[in-house]
Structure 1
Amino acid sequence: MREVYAERGFEMGGLVLARNFGVVTWGSILAMLIVNVVTAVPLPPPDVAEYCNSEERCCMPRPYVGQPAHQFYPDPELPIRIRRPVHLLTDAEVARLERAYQLQKDLPDSDPRSFTNQAKLHCLYCDSGIYYPDNPWPLEIHNGWFFFPWHRMFLYFHERILAKLLDDDTFALPFWNWDNQTPEEPYANVLPISYAKSGSPLWNQQRNKCAEPPLIIDLNTIGGCTAKSPSVLRTENDRIMYTQVVSGAMSPQLFYGMPYRYGDAGGHGPGTFEDNPHGTVHLWVGNPDSESGMFDDMGNFGRAARDPIFYAHHSNVDRIWTVWNTLPGEQRKAPVDPDFLDARFTFFDENGDLIIVNVSQTLDNELLRFRYEQMPTGWVTNGQLPGEENSVPLCYRGNPTKTRKLIADTPYFKPSMVLHTVPLTFKVQRPRRRPEVGVEVLELSGLSLIPALQAHWEAFLFLPNGNNKTTVSCPEFIGTFNYVAHVGQALFNRERRWRVALGPKIMALGKENYTDVVITLAQFGPNIQPITFERAVVVFDTDGVE
């Protein structure tokens, strides 16, 4: 109980109240937090037809005329749908996909299944448009452990709506296979040509001109153009995927993100994959020259689902979640916390009726009756041959004497340190080895940044000369932080944490015998800002260990 209370109690420190809630006393907030701790109530299903306080007018059609909200149960009679890569679709499959989206776009605005209202539903959940009664904070889908399951079911019902419009239960959403760096045509890692044809139901005019085919995706982008060559991009993309999904995400908290419980403000910390590459693909596609200045449409939380490529992108996100579950490691499993499994969300099904889904119902693709076509995943072995994942030459070739001097000359982390225009290098003491199985993790907590601005940094291990020009192909690269501002997050000073796995990289670098680790953070992007942290520690993450 003490640990749980501490996790909620930090929200009080820098609270900024949500809009339209008038005066809320500290006593009432404290009382609410204590009640939430005692009862530990999982998120109840929001009434998306009524709970709406969206600044972006993302509310669903009113009045709601469908059936009363009912519990979702997978239909075992549905055929298994095979989700295929977009770049390998046949002409007939592309024509069926275009027809499905045209039918959906032709639905009236009064129909919650319409393309416009699907985009609004995503905006409502993902851009702080839903408030539970008596809660001062909006529901937060991003930057925590609900990111994967919520988006899976959003895709599920989107797919079922399109199938209903086609009168074809075999219809499956395709996936944009951007993680596949195979250098053979048709290329998987470019924006699919079928989505780039002007006038097609799959086209969107609010896109980055530097994301048009045949340009290769940059999974470490902050939006806009890149001068990197195709060969460099393929290598960096594989290394990013390996670091963010394989070596850097070996436990539930590292991959799914931090816990989020009813009554919390949410947004305590994303999983490694949500930041990058999921978020960077959004920024790569979004138009950096839009009038709003927010990388419309794909790079904007409130507008992303207005672009049909959103659904193919998130289909691949869901596919990679499926791949992650197959990777070796005892801790690669879903959280077992009841506040995760028993949380419920509300969607509109293929009939336009409200339907309630428990997170526990999202964890088995077979029950949901869909599979993914197998595709190359060279990133699983770091773009190298199996067994040679750690054969990449180091960027900092320090011998033991040099490494000991580096450690001795590097100051320990202090809260007064600031990450700004100059990279920040500090050391942190490693914990004593413990008998439990687990992964060694760096945790930076109490992040202080300007919520209305983007913030990005790269982190390196035992690479003191690392900076914003250092390639992520270096084996010393350990992860990326990508914060994209959106409507709700700009209102709150949340307790944020950034966690990244160190154990696998320490072993790969041959540094397991040192008692301290040297960390370098290098900020990059258009909005370099002063960023501070209250605490930096190395801990053993035993989440998922039985």
Structure 2
Amino acid sequence: MGQLRSTGMSPYSFLGLALFMALVAVTYAHLPIPAADLPTQCNSIERCCMPTPYKGKPAYNFEYKKFKKFNVRRPAHLLTKKEITRLEKAYTLMRALPDSDPRSLLNQMKLHCLYCDNALYYPGQQYPLEVHNGWFFLPWHRMFMYWHERILQKLLKDDTFTLPFWAWDNSMDVKPVPNEMPAPYARKGSSLYDEARNNCSFPPFLVDLDTAGGGCTTKTPDFIRIQNDRLQYTQLVVGATTPSLFFGLPYYFGDYGGKGSGTFEDQPHGTVHAWLGRQDAPILGPQYHPYDDMGNFGRAAFDPIFYPHHTNVDRIWCLWTHIPGGKRTHPTHPAFLNTQFTFYDENANLVKHNVSQALDTDLLGYKFESYPTPWMTNGVQAGRENSIPLCNPLSKKATESLISSTPKQRSTQVLLADPITFKVARPKKSKGTEVLEISGIHIPNKTAQAHWKVYLFYPNVSFLTGAACPEFAGTFNWIPHVGQVAYNPDRVWRMGVGPKLLQMGKDYVKSIVVTVVQTGFPLQALTFDSAKIIYDNSPEVEL
């Protein structure tokens, strides 16, 4: 202790100063992302860079636009003939813009690719920007839809035009069918058509929100409707009651990739992309890859259906904030609120848009037409959400016996073709939402996809079990893409397990039994270091 005394400080004040300095260092590291200097800060091996040289005015800071009444975004399958004609004209005009115009459809594709395929490198930063697998996924895409809509309004000379939303989340058996591909987008010869789509994504096929890689399915329409509602109830209602679960984990300036996506980003959002992508797209030309257009970050926004897909994502975000239970608000950390992204406005000028300015659609001047959402009540009558029979019904005695006979999680367990099952102790109840966290996720081949599903108290599952069972608790998806940093070693998977146990009538247990089954191909020898239960108090605490 002599060295400490020689400083004139007590051991305790020295430790206090060290702790303070450590906190300062952490706070300093948790910085917001500054507005990108477009088009120069681009190092894209996928050729995502925007036109150079820039010919517009100096970049300006976004301010809310004055409006007399809200624009209303309508369901794509309910558009009138007049509205369809206007929509097709808008994309005809956008497609006709020269490649030198950042507002063209090609450059809208490139702008999405630029932000979503790790093509932006900031001076002094080792890693490129990542807007996926973390809390920026939702606000960035809302801004992208906002400016895309304003560009189309400018081309049409009609500021009442709005992007429609594709109500793929609605699985009701009605005509026209809401979760079929909307008819205007499926018609050959239309400016809304794209040939690089899965053949089984066109009507009369229903969107399958539980597919691992698109393609055709043998599932019946009735089964898909039930499955879709239950999957969304798990992913959006009981499994995502806090900002960190819904939005994803924090991402700070200079981070090494995203730390973990929100439940919504992976599924159902990502599943719709995968379902639409054309597996044999390379037959269309050398510029295509398997699963283009919608199935890959680089070309997804070239397909006009990208936009009603993401306006529906935006709509579901709005709906999520009004679901009872939990803390359904946005992250409040300054690094989230003060991040800026750069876009091109309707006049092809650069504009810097704060995340904090994208959190209230009322201020942005648009609303969504009301449309039914049966998934909010698990596809059944309100008040009977938890009445669906378990696929693996167990008495209290059988449940305790299963817990007793199940081994604890071990880092040596390998998830391959066969599921792995383990138990996780529940800590003493605390403030916040009870969350299952799997960390130290090891993927041998990080250039290949990896997918798994998690079930509670259901050891006898297979990759065919699916999401219709109440025991289904969530999904993990690793989808590598060109330009991406290899893999964030700190990435975790989280799922709100407390509300799920209440749904299953098993909140009394002292440990949970977890089964993980790999659902993607090729199969990989997956392992993870730890599985534990934590309590999520977001947005009050930093995770």
TM interval, shorter chain, is over 0.9
Give the one of 413, 420, 423 matched to 1:417: 413
Q: Hey, what does 1:22 align to over in structure 2?
A: none
- 8 Å CA contact 1:451–1:489 kept in 2: the answer is no
Distance in 2 between residues matched to 1:541 and 1:271, nearest whole Å: 13
More deviation, 315-324/486-495: 486-495
Return closer, same or farther for 1:339/1:545 CA change in 2, 3 Å cut-off.
closer
Q: Hey, what does 1:214 align to over in structure 2?
A: 204
Aligned amino acid, residue 529 of structure 1: Q
- 8 Å CA contact 2:73–2:369 kept in 1: the answer is yes
Distance in 1 between residues matched to 2:166 and 2:156, nearest whole Å: 21
Aligned amino acid, residue 208 of structure 1: N
Question: Is 2:229 the counterpart of 1:238?
Answer: yes
Deviation track 1:309-352 (CA, whole Å, cap 9, x = no partner) reads 00010000000000001111241100000000001100000010
Question: Is 2:243 the counterpart of 1:249?
Answer: no
Question: Is 2:144 the counterpart of 1:154?
Answer: yes
Deviation track 1:350-401 (CA, whole Å, cap 9, x = no partner) reads 0100000110000000100000000000000000100000000011111122
Give the one of 375, 378, 387 matched to 1:379: 375
* 1:50 Cα offset (Å): 0.5
Return closer, same or farther for 1:330/1:397 CA change in 2, 3 Å cut-off.
closer
Within-5 A mapping of 1:97-112: 97-112=87-102
Distance in 1 between residues matched to 2:230 and 2:40, nearest whole Å: 45
Q: CA RMSD in A?
A: 1.5
Deviation track 1:50-71 (CA, whole Å, cap 9, x = no partner) reads 1000011110000001011110
Q: Hey, what does 1:440 align to over in structure 2?
A: 434
Structure 1 unaligned spans of 5+: 1-32
- 8 Å CA contact 1:127–1:302 kept in 2: the answer is yes
- 8 Å CA contact 2:29–2:252 kept in 1: the answer is no
- 8 Å CA contact 1:452–1:485 kept in 2: the answer is yes
* 1:235 Cα offset (Å): 0.3
Give the one of 107, 111, 119 matched to 1:129: 119
Secondary structure at 1:427 match in 2: strand
Secondary structure at 1:132 match in 2: coil
Q: Hey, what does 2:249 align to over in structure 1?
A: 258
Return closer, same or farther for 1:78/1:486 CA change in 2, 3 Å cut-off.
farther
* 1:34 Cα offset (Å): 9.3
Secondary structure at 2:441 match in 1: coil
* 1:79 Cα offset (Å): 4.1
Distance in 2 between residues matched to 1:243 and 1:40, nearest whole Å: 31
Deviation track 1:255-299 (CA, whole Å, cap 9, x = no partner) reads 000000012113110000000000000000000112255311000
- 8 Å CA contact 1:415–1:533 kept in 2: the answer is yes
- 8 Å CA contact 2:257–2:488 kept in 1: the answer is no
Distance in 2 between residues matched to 1:494 and 1:129, nearest whole Å: 20
Task: Tell me which structure has the larger Cα radius of gyration.
Answer: 2
Distance in 1 between residues matched to 2:350 and 2:130, nearest whole Å: 20
Deviation track 1:432-478 (CA, whole Å, cap 9, x = no partner) reads 112x2x21110011111122111111110011112212131111111
Give the one of 494, 502, 508 matched to 1:499: 494
Give the one of 270, 278, 290 matched to 2:281: 290
Task: Return the TM-score normalized by structure 1.
Answer: 0.92
Give the one of 94, 103, 127 matched to 2:84: 94
- 8 Å CA contact 1:411–1:426 kept in 2: the answer is yes
Q: Hey, what does 1:395 align to over in structure 2?
A: 391
Aligned amino acid, residue 487 of structure 1: V
- 8 Å CA contact 1:40–1:339 kept in 2: the answer is yes
Task: Return the TM-score normalized by structure 2.
Answer: 0.92
Q: Hey, what does 1:310 align to over in structure 2?
A: 306
Question: Is 2:328 the counterpart of 1:332?
Answer: yes
Within-5 A mapping of 1:7-406: 37-38=27-28, 40-77=30-67, 79-222=69-212, 223-291=214-282, 293-406=289-402
Between the aligned residues of both structures, percent identity stands at 52
Return closer, same or farther for 1:350/1:78 CA change in 2, 3 Å cut-off.
farther
More deviation, 76-85/364-373: 76-85
Question: Is 2:501 the counterpart of 1:511?
Answer: no
- 8 Å CA contact 1:48–1:130 kept in 2: the answer is no
Return closer, same or farther for 1:431/1:453 CA change in 2, 3 Å cut-off.
same
- Equivalenced residue count is 512
Q: Hey, what does 2:538 align to over in structure 1?
A: 543
Deviation track 1:195-215 (CA, whole Å, cap 9, x = no partner) reads 011111000000000111111
Secondary structure at 1:534 match in 2: strand
Distance in 2 between residues matched to 1:445 and 1:91, nearest whole Å: 51
Distance in 1 between residues matched to 2:40 and 2:123, nearest whole Å: 11
